[in-house]
Amino acid sequence: MSIPLVQVLANSTPQRPAGALRPRTPSAVVVLGAHYGALGVVRSLGRKGISTVVVKCGEHNIAAFSRYASQVFDFPRKENGYEFLTNLATQHNLSGSLLIPTTDDTVALVSRASEDLSRDYVVITPPWNTMKQLCDKRSLYELAGALGIDHPSTMYPAGVEGLENFDLKFPVILKPAHREITNPLTRAKAWQVNNARELMARYKQACEFMPAELVMIQEVIPGGGEAQFSYAALCLNGKILASLTARRTRQFPIDYGRSSTYVETIAADPKLEEAAARLLAAVRMTGLVEVEFKRDTRGSYKLLDVNPRVWTWHALGSRAGVDFPYLLWLLASGNDFCAPKAREGVTWRHFFSDLPAAVAELYRGKLQWKEYFRSLSRADAAAVRAMDDPVPLFFDVPTSFYRFGKRAFLSFTS
C-alpha cells in the first residue's frame, strides 16, 4: 500500500517539525554521532548515492572510517552546539541537509533548537516539548500511566529524606531519569541494590554525580535480554508509516545492558504493538523511534524506555525489508513509498560485544553451547562487518577491547 505523504501532511495539525511541513529533497545528510547506529545510517544512505557527512561526538567513532562518509568533522564540546551546526552549514555548503542526531545529547540539542536549526537544515526531530515526554523517564512513566500502559513501579525520592517512604521490594535498581549527563550511573544504565544499607550508600553516591531529582528507584523485572522486546517505527505526527518488532535476545552487560548484542525480528504481538502505537500517537511523534518493553513472568509487557532516534541495531531493518534511514530520507523529501512489512527471523549481531555476553550466559547456565553456535550461523546483519565497507571492522577490534576494559574498570571502582 502506497502512503501519500502529501495527503498525510494535509490532514495533519500544524504542530509538527518544519522539515515535515515543507518537504523538500535534502542536499545531503549530516549525521551527528559516529557509533554503530550512525554507521548503519551512513551505509544505508551512502549505498544509494546520498552524500553523508559524519560529525564525531563521544568515544564511538566507527562511522568516521566508512567509505560512505563523504566528510568527517569533530564536534567541539567546548563550543555552543547550535552555533557549531549553523557555522557548519554555511561554511561547508551544507545548508538544506537533513540533520540526523543519533545520540541522546545530540537529540536534545537538535530538539531544543529545532525551529532555529530549520533555517539551515531539514529537521525532522520534533521540538523539545514533544521529546521531553519520551527522553525524560519521569514524564514518560507519567504519560504511560495516563494512557494505561504498564510500566515498572518507580519512586522519585528527590533526596535522602525521601527514602523514608520506600515501599518497593528488594532487589531494586537505581536509574537516571535521562542520560544527557555522562557519569558512572548513566554509563552503567542501572545499579542493582539488594538491601536498605546498600540502597542508602548507592543513592548517596548517585546524588554526587547528578541532581537528586534525576535519580529514580525502580522495581526489578525478572529476566535478561531474552525477555526484552522492541517496537521500532518511522512515524509522522503519531501515524505509523513503517515498523517492526524484535527480541533483543542478548545484551551487554547481560543484566542491565548498555546495548543489544544479538537481536532478531519476530512476529508482532498485538498487545505490544497497540501499547507502543498508543504512546507514539499521544505525543504525535515524527521520525525514527524505538520503544523498549520487558515481559514479566505473568506475560505482560512493561514499558522500559523510548529512544526517539536511531538505535544501535537498526541496520537489521534493511535486511528484514524495512530500511529505516532511507525511509526517513524519503519522508524528509516528501516522497511516497509503500509501507514495508518486516520479515520474521532476521538476525543482527555485534560480534565483539556478543561474545562476552554469550560467555556470561553460558557460565550462568542461561545459554547452551549448541544454541550459541546455532545463533552464530544465523546472523544475517552485522553491526560493523561489510564486504563493501571493510575498514570500520579493523578499527572496531581495538576500540571494542578498549571499551570493555574501561567498563570493567569503572564497574570495579564504582
Tens digits of per-residue pLDDT, 366-406?
Answer: 888 888 888 887 768 999 999 999 999 998 877 766 665 55
Residues 175 and 210: beta-carbon distance below 8 Å: no
The class that CATH gives domain 225-413 is: alpha beta
pLDDT band for position 13 (cuts 50, 70, 90): very low
- List the one residue out of 27, 11, 43, 157 whose CA is nearest residue 388: 43
Query: 10 Å Cβ neighbour count for 115?
Result: 11
Q: Compute CA distances 335 → 9, 18, 213, whole Å.
A: 12, 16, 44
Q: Look at the chain and count its residues.
A: 414
pLDDT at 3: 44
Tens digits of per-residue pLDDT, 187-233?
Answer: 888 899 999 999 999 999 999 999 999 999 999 988 777 789 999 99
Q: Which of 46-50, 112-116, 256-260 has the lowest mean pLDDT?
A: 256-260
- CATH code linked to domain 7-126: 3.40.50.20
Residue 336 φ then ψ, to 5°: -75, 155
Query: 10 Å Cβ neighbour count for 386?
Result: 20
Tens digits of per-residue pLDDT, 185-200?
Answer: 888 888 999 999 999 9
Residue 249 φ then ψ, to 5°: -60, -40
Q: Compute CA distances 295 → 258, 273, 316, whole Å.
A: 18, 13, 22
Residue whose cell numbers read 537529540? 107
Residues 280 and 240: beta-carbon distance below 8 Å: yes
Q: Compute CA distances 238 → 16, 275, 280, whole Å.
A: 10, 13, 5
How many helices (H) and strands (E) would you count in the chain? 16, 18
Residue whose cell numbers read 504542530? 15
Q: Where do the DSSP E strands lie in 61-190?
A: 69-74, 97-101, 121-123, 154-155, 172-176
Q: Per-domain residue ranges for the chain?
A: 7-126, 153-219, 225-413
pLDDT at 318: 94
- Average pLDDT (308-327) is 96
Higher-confidence residue of 3 and 227: namely 227
- List the one residue out of 317, 309, 316, 313 whose CA is nearest residue 287: 309
pLDDT at 10: 34
- Provide the 8-state DSSP code for 299: S
Question: Which overall architecture, per CATH, does domain 153-219 show?
Answer: 2-Layer Sandwich (3.30)
Q: Among the residues of 151-224, which ranges form H helices?
A: 184-188, 196-209
pLDDT band for position 346 (cuts 50, 70, 90): very high
User: Which three-class secondary structure state does DSSP give residue 384?
Assistant: coil
Q: Which of 58-62, 150-154, 198-202 has the lowest mean pLDDT?
A: 58-62
| Residue 414 scores a pLDDT above 60 | no
pLDDT at 403: 61
* Amino acid (one-letter) located at 187: R
For residues 232 and 182, give the distance between their C-alpha atoms in angstroms, rounded to a whole number: 25
For residues 358 and 217, give the distance between their C-alpha atoms in angstroms, rounded to a whole number: 28
For residues 242 and 208, give the distance between their C-alpha atoms in angstroms, rounded to a whole number: 42
